[in-house]
Amino acid sequence: MGGKMYSDLQQNIIELKKLLYNSADFTVRTIKLNNSSKTSCAVFTTEGMCDKESLAIYVLNPLLNGSYGDLNRKKLFDYIYDNVLSASEIILITSFSQVITFSMSGFAIVAIDGYKEMLAIGAQGFSYRGVSEPESEVVQRGSREGFTEALRINMTLVRRRMKNPNLVFETMTVGTESNTQICLCYIKNIATKSSVNELRERLINCDIKTVLGSGYLVPYLEDSGKNQVFTGVGITERPDSLCGKLLEGRIGILIDGTPCVLVLPHLFVENFQSVDDYSNRPYFATIIRLLKYFSYILAILTPAVYLAFVNFHPDYFPKALYKNIQESIKDTPLPLILEILLITFIYEIMREAGLRLPKALGHAVSIVGALVIGDCAINAGIIGAPTLMAVAVSAICSYVVPDLYPQITVLRLSFIVVGGIMGVWGIVLLSTIVIIFMCSKSSLGVAYMSPIIPFNKKSIGDVFMRFGWKRLTKNSINVQSLNGGSVYEE
C-alpha cells in the first residue's frame, strides 16, 4: 500500500480502486485540462468527508476554467500548484498510502496524467457534533464550551484561548488498522523536552490496531506496564481546563473521534480540583475542597468501618445506637457482610442501568430503585435500615469526586471484604498498602502523590486549600519541576 505511484493516470486509478476494494465511498472525477494536449486530470475524494462547495470553489472550478496554453508536461504540474489551485492547504504526496490517508481525512487528491506525484487539497467538510457544554464536567461559573469529536475543531478551541506562539500542535497517526489521527499539545517553553520526547516515543511504539476512544491509549501511556487501581493519565472535556494544565507544563493528547482529551502527567490531587475552585473566593473554594477529601474517605471506608465495628468492636457504639443495630440485624436473614455486599451490588446495577438507559427512562429506574432498596426491602426484613444508611452515605459521597468513581468502587468492595474478615486492623493494613502503592506510582516521571509526597512547599497552597490568585501566581511552578525536570529546549 505504501508503494510509489505511476506516471500513468489510468494505472493509478486502477491501483487505488484495487487497494480500496472498489469501496462505494471512494469517488473519482476525471476531467480534461484546457491546454493544447488536453491533458487528463482526476480528483479523488471520499464521500461524506469532503465539503462539496469547497471542492467546487477551490479545486474543480480552477482546474476547469484555467488556461494553460502550451505548457509542457514538466511545467504544467508546477503551474497548477503555484497559480491554479486556490486552497490554503496544499500538500505534495508521493505514495498510495498517503493518497488513502489524506482522502479519508477529508482532503481532495488531484492527480495529473504524466506525473508520479499528486496534490492533497484541504477541503474537509465531514459532519460533526457542534460545540456544547460537557456533561461530565459541569461548572457554575465558567465556559460552557466542551470538546467535540472533530480533531481540528478541538485544536481551534485550544488555540482561541491560548494565543501563544509557543503553543505547539504535533499530529501523528496511531492504530495500524484505524489510522486514527491524534495531536500532541504542549507549550514549548514550559513543558520539558524529556517529557515530550518520552510521550512521543510511547505513542510511536504503540502497537495497538484500533483507537476508537481515549481509553484505548491509556495502558500504553502509563509509567508502569502493570494494571493498577489508580491511573497516571488524566481526562478532560473542557478547553479551559486543558489550557490551565498546559500552563503548568502538562501535555495534552487530542484524539480524533472523541471529546475526551488525555493529559499527562496526572496527579492524585487534581481529582479534587475543578474550574469553579478558581472562580470562587479562596475561603469558599477551600471549604469545598476539604469537603471533597472528606467525602472521598467516607465513600471508601463507611461500609467497611461500620461492618468492622459491629462485628468486632461493638463496645465503641453508644448503647442505644447499638441496640437498634442489633435489632435490625436479628430481623434480617443474611450475615451483615453479605447484606452490605448485596446492597452494594444492587446499587451498582441500578447505577449502570440508569446510565445506559435513555434519559426518559432514567427517572423510572430511580423510582423503582427507591421502592425496592428503600421501603420494600426494609419492610420485608431483607435489609436493615442502619446498613442501608451506611451504604447510601458511601454512594452519595462517591459522586462528590466523579473522576475517582471507578477507584472508589473497587476499593470500597475490597475494604468491605477485609473489614468483615479482619476487622479494623484489616482496614488499617489495607489502607497502608494502598497508600504505599499510591506513593510509589508515577506519571510521566512525576510522583503521583506530588506535591504531598514528596512535599513541595510552593505547591501545597493549591492542594488541601486554595490560596488567592496573587499567592498562586507568585508561587506557580512547573509540574515537571516536582521531579527536577528542565524546560523544553531545542
Extents of the domains making up the chain = 9-122, 151-266, 282-440
Q: What is the pLDDT of residue 487?
A: 46
Q: What is the pLDDT of residue 75?
A: 80
Q: What is the pLDDT of residue 304?
A: 94
Question: Structure pTM?
Answer: 0.84
Q: What is the pLDDT of residue 485?
A: 43
Q: What is the pLDDT of residue 299?
A: 94
Q: What is the pLDDT of residue 490?
A: 44
Q: What is the pLDDT of residue 183?
A: 92
Q: What is the pLDDT of residue 51?
A: 84
User: What is the SS3 assignment for the chain?
Assistant: CCCECCCCHHHHHHHHHHHCCCCCCEEEEEEECCECCCCEEEEEEECCCECHHHHHHHHHHHHHHCCCECCCHHHHHHHHHHHHCCCCCEEEECEHHHHHHHHCCCEEEEEECCCCCEEEEECECCCCCCCCCCCCCCCCCCCCCCCCCCHHHHHHHHHHHCCCCCEEEEEEEECCCCCEEEEEEEECCCCCHHHHHHHHHHHHCCCCCCCCCHHHCHHHHCCCCCCCCCCCCEEECCHHHHHHHHCCCCEEEEECCCCCEEEECCCHHHHHCCHHHHCCCHHHHHHHHHHHHHHHHHHHHHHHHHHHHHHHCHHHCCHHHHHHHHHHHHCCCCCHHHHHHHHHHHHHHHHHHHHHCCHHHHHHHHHHHHHHHHHHHHHCCCCCHHHHHHHHHHHHHHCCCHHHHHHHHHHHHHHHHHHHHHCHHHHHHHHHHHHHHHHHCEECCEECCCCCCCCCCCCHHHCCCCCCHHHHHHCCCCHHHHHCCCCCCC
Low-confidence ranges of the chain (pLDDT < 70): 1-3, 36, 72-74, 225-227, 359-376, 380, 475-477, 481-490
Q: What is the pLDDT of residue 369?
A: 66
